[in-house]
Structure 1
Amino acid sequence: MPTPADLPFTMGPALLFCPADRPERYSKAADRSDAVILDLEDAVAPADKQRARGAILAQLGAAGDTPELEPSRTIVRVNPVGSAEFGKDLHSLAHTPYRTVMVAKAESAEDMRALDGYRVIALCETAAGVLNAAAIAAEPNVVALMWGAEDLLASLGGLSSRNDDGGYRAVALHARSAVLLAAKAAGKEAIDAVYVNIPDLDGLAVESRDAVASGFGAKACIHPSQVAAVREAYAPVPEAVEEARELLDAASAAGSGVFQFKGKMIDGPILKHAESVLRRAL
């Protein structure tokens, strides 16, 4: 019998952060996204963290077992392992049905072992986290890796993750690729970082399409207005779906090995691309 951590991460493609100290936004965030991330870390001021934990507990039913949010579509971002707030976060979560957590500033495989019994999304957003991404991804309770650009540059003593033209700096692109490769090598999902320029939906759309093409299974959002752009990027156009189906049907008829399809030579990697298109079409 598989444990929850053995099951693949299927939330997405648009994950929406919601400050945990704003319970009036919980349902709206869940309704407007594919999964909501209740944030106990950066989105909550230090003085309000206990109130935020209380808000998560308060939205449970009177018997403590009827949550306002679906556990299968809810992630809780907890404070970094070893911080003063981390133990308090876990103590509160133990009284909820939420078992998928995002660990802020994940830096080692040992950090993941402090979350036994939870499905863990490791947020690699420091130099140590990026360098240790492969070891983190290999931990059995880790179901996905995400990377974070701004915290990463801050940990390096940098000023900004992006160049003046809006594109990522080389070090941020390296981190993005490293986390993606580490996740996929371990058979785990990869989540792309947030796009902080909220009004720039065109830029978000471009970055989201690149995330899809590169292999990221989801992208995190910080505002409801971003969700549609992410979903559109991940949804293949009908023509691509039809061509993928035709290609896979042709592969089935051809049997194994390389074959021609519409004048092109087709091999294993191209078939995997077609399978990916159909998965996103579901």
Structure 2
Amino acid sequence: MTSLETEGWRSLLFVPGSRPDRFDKALAAGADVVCIDLEDAVAPDGKDDAREQTFGYLAQPRDGGPALGLRINGVDTEAGARDLNAIGGLNGADFLMLPKVADLADIEAVIAAGCDLPIIVVLESANGVLEARAIAQHGAVIAAIYGAIDLSADIGCSLDWEAHLYGRSHCALCFGAEQKVLFDSPYLDVKDLDGLKEMTSRAARLGIHARSAIHPAQLAPIHEALNPSAEEVAEARRILEAFDAAKGGVALLDGKMIELPVIKSARRVLARAGD
């Protein structure tokens, strides 16, 4: 299994596998991760052509840039079966994204087909969300996307924030416990950048510190919402400086004792700021 550095991931940009003319643009858009999509973004009659073009593109040498991977179709679909049959010829991808993961059997099916890439799963069904703990613990899984849109269709709930509060919180806990990245679902209104920023900030307060995107214009608001403010960075530095100055003794800042959870939070802030 190839290792992949995930620390600092904030954004994942999807690009349709049927639009190879957009692949280079997606890589240059500023996302931390780029995923070529053979599933939702490709019409049924275009999947074979998209697969061929995508595999050819991924096989080309790349000089740096964001992590680049491929989302195949669900393993229980005809298109997914064709993807799995071709997986042995997939070269150059940094990861594989597996949609509609319901349990560990879906992950094992991909591995059995010859995939040795790190896997990003999409949790977009009731079964998938309920199995999030076991899925997060799987050694091949490095990250997940909370799939609010398909989950809404699966259980018949709305896309309102309240309807997904439990699902988001549960997945954040499961993947947080394994120190693995959880991306929030894409924000569908690509013109509502203020709404995107607000909802991304709200998800971050639950512990979801990354988001998937369907348009390059969404990347800046995502990063703005997730990057610590200058005030937060300055306060984190003060906390760590006071802790270091105590040299193992009781650390105080502004008359208050600095406990270990506060230190951990300060280090997390600086890590998110790239400090």
**Structure 1 length normalisation: TM-score?**
0.87
Question: Structure 1 pair 148/12, CA: closer, same or farther in 2 (3 Å)?
Answer: same
Q: In structure 1, what is the equivalent of residue 84 of structure 2?
A: 90
Matched, 1:224 2:216: yes
Measure the CA separation in 1 of the matches of 2:74 and 2:64.
24
| Amino acid aligned to 2:200 | S
Pairwise CA distance, 1:249? 1.6
Q: Which whole-Å deviations, capped at 9, do the CAs of 1:102-139 have from their partners, x for residues lacking one?
A: 11111101211223312111110000000111111111
Decide whether the 8 Å contact of 2:8 with 2:271 is kept in 1: no
Q: Which whole-Å deviations, capped at 9, do the CAs of 1:126-176 have from their partners, x for residues lacking one?
A: 000001111111111001122111100101134x312xxxxx133x11111
Residues 191-230 of structure 1 mapped to structure 2, 5 A cutoff? 191-230=183-222
Q: Which whole-Å deviations, capped at 9, do the CAs of 1:176-197 have from their partners, x for residues lacking one?
A: 1111111112232211111112
Decide whether the 8 Å contact of 1:15 with 1:37 is kept in 2: yes
Measure the CA separation in 2 of the matches of 1:48 and 1:132.
32
Measure the CA separation in 2 of the matches of 1:109 and 1:259.
45
Q: Which whole-Å deviations, capped at 9, do the CAs of 1:213-265 have from their partners, x for residues lacking one?
A: 33223210111111000111222222322221121121122244753212333
Q: Give the share of equivalent positions with the same residue, in percent.
A: 37
Gaps of 5+ in 2: none
Matched, 1:36 2:38: no
Q: Which whole-Å deviations, capped at 9, do the CAs of 1:13-60 have from their partners, x for residues lacking one?
A: 121111111111111111112221111111111111111101112325
Measure the CA separation in 2 of the matches of 1:156 and 1:208.
23
Measure the CA separation in 2 of the matches of 1:53 and 1:250.
55
Correspondent of 2:162 among 135, 158, 169: 169
Gaps of 5+ in 1: 163-167
Matched, 1:111 2:106: yes
RMSD value, Cα: 2.1
Q: In structure 1, what is the equivalent of residue 151 of structure 2?
A: 152
Measure the CA separation in 1 of the matches of 2:238 and 2:143.
32
Pairwise CA distance, 1:72? 5.5
Question: Structure 1 pair 234/24, CA: closer, same or farther in 2 (3 Å)?
Answer: same
Measure the CA separation in 1 of the matches of 2:223 and 2:88.
32
